[in-house]
């Protein structure tokens, strides 16, 4: 055609491209997605990305962890306190396999994480090359989505998809495995476009109005309604909507361990924690309420106890973003699927303002019994040895409930979750579903980066601390201001408690010895102290909190103290034991 001059050259205008490497495209994607902090560990197969990172130190802060498991737990901690996606880098082979525990943890606790792993050159895939492992297949059951990139041109779209999938709907971990050739390859980059739709993926189901109406009708007719809520309220950023709902409805509300801190612990309608070591009233009265309203929680077996004796008398309303959760464990009367940020206001509008003073009083009565038999002896013991509860209680008094509490797994976790006070949301970071010992120390690092203005206290047992204590190196190198509070009972306490109660005190391999933790910390140039007497406790905690920078405080507590109340395994929630 000769007439091009007279035609506007619209079609001929090339899209502006620049030639960049796959590695650079990865980092550009991170910046476009608002990432500021990366936790990671370099290695052979991810070196091109680390090489590119060298030029991005202004925009992206990279925290060199001491083990990839620490990296992913830190990314989880970051996600939990920031409410955004945590990012972790690891190399191929062992680097990638070290992520697996964290991925499984993030999967079961619905934590948005994007993991980027290096992989051997595409032509070496399947040849047992050095540090080659089948990362995609290893991580398939523990990721919401994963994908292997072998061509750099795929990177922008795949990264956009990764972030979109990780953070939307029911969040979860996504792993992107990038072969070394794709990292090195130069391609025509057309800029980054965020993903907002994938045709095969429906992050949230459409809200069915008729179900909201049915739910409202059930609530309006209820005599003894009971709300139980989980992390869905926090993940949905629907704390305000939730509080408006329960306040208008006047319904007593209990949290799961993951839902903790979505409402302040002293909220007048908050009746405590559910589950195996939860509070007395919420457990017993689950089996007496007439309408059970579950919001963003998944009826974990640690919450329900024996399922065939769980809330059989109640009509169940289940609000959840994940349709697969409806009827999974507990048969639902009215399923309200959808994002609770949308469904809760719809429900609030349709319900009548009510109060249930007598019903609420029943929770208070149970709370009184629990106070006398469990809480008082735990928080104000008369014996000589310190209890975990009084440590947490003193911590409450000093922080005023403003701190982020990160916990590991075991007795100290249950005690911390039972007794810690929280004034604001996203304050409780714990490994709920997977129960990953070793979670707390690295997660606390991430938690601090996720919300740098707040005090972060990592409450850890003597066993769990020894699983990831190498992350003290990360704390040292990056001056991460986390307060490490080790509750040392010289036992793997939770297993010991079970062996005592259910295995005739046959203490099989629960007797764990520890190094001098204060000396270990000192080796990392982290100040610390160890106390075992009540008179020293408050000052020691106060010193820890006021210390500039990281600090380790070990508190020696009673060796054979048990956590009560307890719903023994195989028992119904109503059979909860106070001792």
Partner 1 sequence: MGKGREINGLLKHLNMNKQEYTITVYTENQIGLLNRIAIMFSRRKINVESLNTSPSEVEGIHRFTIVIHETEDVVKKLVRQIEKQVEVLKAYYNTNEELIWQELALYKVSTDEIAEKVKVERLLREYGARAVVIRKDYTVFETTGHREETDKLINVLEPYGLIEFVRSARVAIIKASSGFHEKLREFEAQEPSEEVVENEYLDKQDEVFTM
Note if 1 is an active site residue: no
- Over its C-alpha atoms, the chain yields an Rg (Å, rounded) of 25
- In eight-state DSSP terms, residue 13 is P
What span, in angstroms and rounded, lies between the C-alpha atoms of 231 and 432? 10
Q: Which long-range contacts (CB under 8 A, 24 or more apart) does 15-20 make?
A: 15/190, 16/190, 16/191, 17/188, 17/189, 17/190, 18/188, 18/189, 19/186, 19/187, 19/188, 19/189, 20/186, 20/187, 20/189
Which is nearest to 46 in space by CA: 107, 115, 103, 106?
115
- Residue with the two structure tokens 């009215």: 334
DSSP secondary structure string for all residues of 181-218: HHHH-EEEE--------BTTB-SSPPP-HHHHHHHHHH
Smallest gap from Cβ 344 to partner 1, in A, equals 22
Note if 131 is an active site residue: yes
What span, in angstroms and rounded, lies between the C-alpha atoms of 207 and 102? 32
Smallest gap from Cβ 388 to partner 1, in A, equals 36
Q: Of 437, 494, 544, 566, which is the active-site residue?
A: 494
Q: Of 130, 223, 240, 372, which is the active-site residue?
A: 130
What b/e string do you get for 77-112 counting C-beta neighbours within 10 Å, with b at 16 or more?
Answer: bbbbbbbbbbbbbbbbbebbbbbbbbbbbbbbbbbb
Note if 204 is an active site residue: no
- Does 520 help bind partner 1 (rule: CB under 8 A)? no
Give alpha helix (H) positions in 33-67. 47-53
Smallest gap from Cβ 273 to partner 1, in A, equals 27
Site string for partner 1, 319-338 (x = CB under 8 A): ---xxx-xxx----------
| CB nearer to partner 1: pick between 195 and 284 | 195
Q: Tell me which residues in 200-239 interact with partner 1 (CB under 8 A).
A: 200-202
Whether 335 contacts 539, CB under 8 Å: no
Smallest gap from Cβ 163 to partner 1, in A, equals 12
3-state secondary structure of 342: helix
| CB nearer to partner 1: pick between 4 and 200 | 200
Smallest gap from Cβ 274 to partner 1, in A, equals 23
| CB nearer to partner 1: pick between 36 and 208 | 208
What are the structure tokens assigned to 67, written together? 């083990």
Smallest gap from Cβ 268 to partner 1, in A, equals 37
- When binding is defined by CB under 8 A, the residue of 111, 117, 119, 148 that contacts partner 1 is 148
- In eight-state DSSP terms, residue 49 is H
- Does 197 help bind partner 1 (rule: CB under 8 A)? yes
**Among 29-37, 66-74, 196-204, 290-298, the segment contacting partner 1 (CB under 8 A):** 196-204
Note if 221 is an active site residue: no
- In eight-state DSSP terms, residue 566 is B
**Among 44-52, 79-87, 137-145, 288-296, the segment contacting partner 1 (CB under 8 A):** 137-145
| CB nearer to partner 1: pick between 193 and 240 | 193
| CB nearer to partner 1: pick between 176 and 374 | 176
The gap from C-alpha 177 to its chain's centroid, in whole angstroms, comes to 23
- Does 501 help bind partner 1 (rule: CB under 8 A)? no
- Does 308 help bind partner 1 (rule: CB under 8 A)? no
Site string for partner 1, 538-567 (x = CB under 8 A): ------------------------------
DSSP H or E stretch at residue 301: helix 301-304
| CB nearer to partner 1: pick between 137 and 361 | 137
- In eight-state DSSP terms, residue 56 is G
- Does 195 help bind partner 1 (rule: CB under 8 A)? yes
Side-chain-side CA neighbours of residue 352 (13 Å): 10
Site string for partner 1, 149-188 (x = CB under 8 A): -xx-xx--xx-xx---x---------------x-------
**Among 148-156, 279-287, 403-411, 498-506, the segment contacting partner 1 (CB under 8 A):** 148-156
- Does 196 help bind partner 1 (rule: CB under 8 A)? yes
Note if 288 is an active site residue: no
- Does 17 help bind partner 1 (rule: CB under 8 A)? no
Non-local CB neighbours of 434 within 8 Å, separated by 6+ positions: 101, 104, 105, 108, 109
What residues are annotated to the active site? 68, 130-131, 180, 494
Binding site for partner 1 (CB under 8 A): 122-123, 125, 136-137, 140-141, 144-148, 150-151, 153-154, 157-158, 160-161, 165, 181, 193, 195-202, 322-324, 326-328
């Amino acid at each position: 055609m000769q007439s091009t001059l007279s035609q506007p050259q619209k079609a001929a205008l090339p899209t502006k491209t620049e030639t960049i490497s796959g590695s650079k495209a990865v980092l550009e994607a991170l910046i476009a997605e608002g990432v500021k902090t990366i936790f990671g560990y370099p290695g052979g197969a991810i070196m091109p990305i680390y090489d590119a990172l060298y030029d991005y130190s202004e925009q992206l802060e990279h925290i060199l962890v001491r083990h990839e498991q620490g990296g992913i737990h830190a990314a989880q901690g970051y996600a939990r306190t920031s409410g955004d996606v945590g990012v972790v880098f690891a190399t191929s082979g062992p680097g990638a396999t070290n992520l697996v525990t964290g991925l499984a943890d993030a999967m079961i606790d619905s934590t948005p994480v994007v993991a980027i792993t290096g992989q051997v050159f595409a032509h070496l895939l399947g040849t047992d090359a050095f540090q080659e492992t089948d990362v995609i297949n290893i991580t398939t059951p523990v990721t919401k989505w994963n994908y292997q990139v072998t061509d750099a041109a795929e990177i922008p779209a795949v990264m956009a998809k990764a972030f979109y999938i990780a953070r939307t709907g029911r969040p979860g971990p996504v792993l992107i495995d990038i072969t070394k050739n794709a990292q090195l390859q130069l391609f025509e980059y057309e800029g980054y476009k965020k993903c907002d739709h994938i045709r095969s993926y429906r992050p949230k189901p459409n809200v069915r109005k008729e179900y909201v109406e049915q739910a409202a009708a059930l609530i309006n007719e209820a005599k003894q309604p009971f709300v139980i809520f989980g992390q869905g309220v926090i993940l949905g950023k629907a704390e305000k909507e939730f509080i408006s709902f329960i306040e208008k409805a006047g319904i007593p509300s209990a949290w799961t361990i993951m839902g903790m801190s979505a409402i302040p612990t002293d909220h007048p309608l908050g009746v405590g924690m559910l589950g195996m070591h939860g509070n007395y009233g919420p457990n017993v009265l689950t089996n007496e309420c007439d309408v059970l309203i579950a919001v963003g929680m998944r009826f974990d077996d640690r919450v329900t106890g024996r399922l065939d004796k769980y809330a059989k008398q109640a009509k169940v309303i289940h609000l959840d973003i994940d349709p697969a959760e409806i009827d999974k464990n507990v048969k639902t009367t009215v399923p309200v699927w959808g994002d609770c940020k949308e469904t809760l206001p719809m429900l609030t509008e349709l319900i009548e303002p009510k109060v249930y003073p007598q019903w609420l009083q029943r929770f208070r009565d149970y709370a009184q019994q629990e106070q006398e038999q469990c809480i008082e002896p735990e928080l104000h013991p008369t014996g000589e040895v310190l209890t975990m509860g009084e440590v947490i209680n003193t911590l409450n008094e000093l922080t005023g409930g403003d701190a982020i509490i990160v916990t590991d797994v075991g007795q100290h976790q249950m005690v911390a979750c039972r007794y810690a006070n929280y004034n604001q949301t996203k304050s409780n970071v714990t490994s709920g579903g997977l129960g990953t010992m070793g979670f707390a120390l690295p997660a606390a690092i991430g938690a601090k980066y996720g919300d740098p203005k707040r005090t972060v206290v990592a409450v850890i047992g003597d066993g769990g601390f020894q699983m990831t204590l190498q992350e003290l190196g990360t704390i040292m190198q990056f001056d991460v201001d986390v307060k490490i509070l080790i509750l040392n009972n010289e036992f793997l306490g939770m297993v010991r408690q079970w062996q005592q109660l259910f295995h005739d005190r046959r203490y099989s391999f629960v007797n764990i010895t520890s190094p001098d933790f204060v000396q270990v910390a000192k080796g990392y140039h982290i100040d610390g102290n160890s106390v075992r007497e009540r008179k020293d406790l408050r000052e020691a905690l106060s010193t820890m909190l006021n210390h500039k920078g990281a600090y380790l405080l070990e508190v020696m507590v009673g060796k054979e103290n048990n956590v009560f109340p307890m719903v023994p395994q195989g028992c119904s929630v109503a059979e909860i034991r106070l001792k």
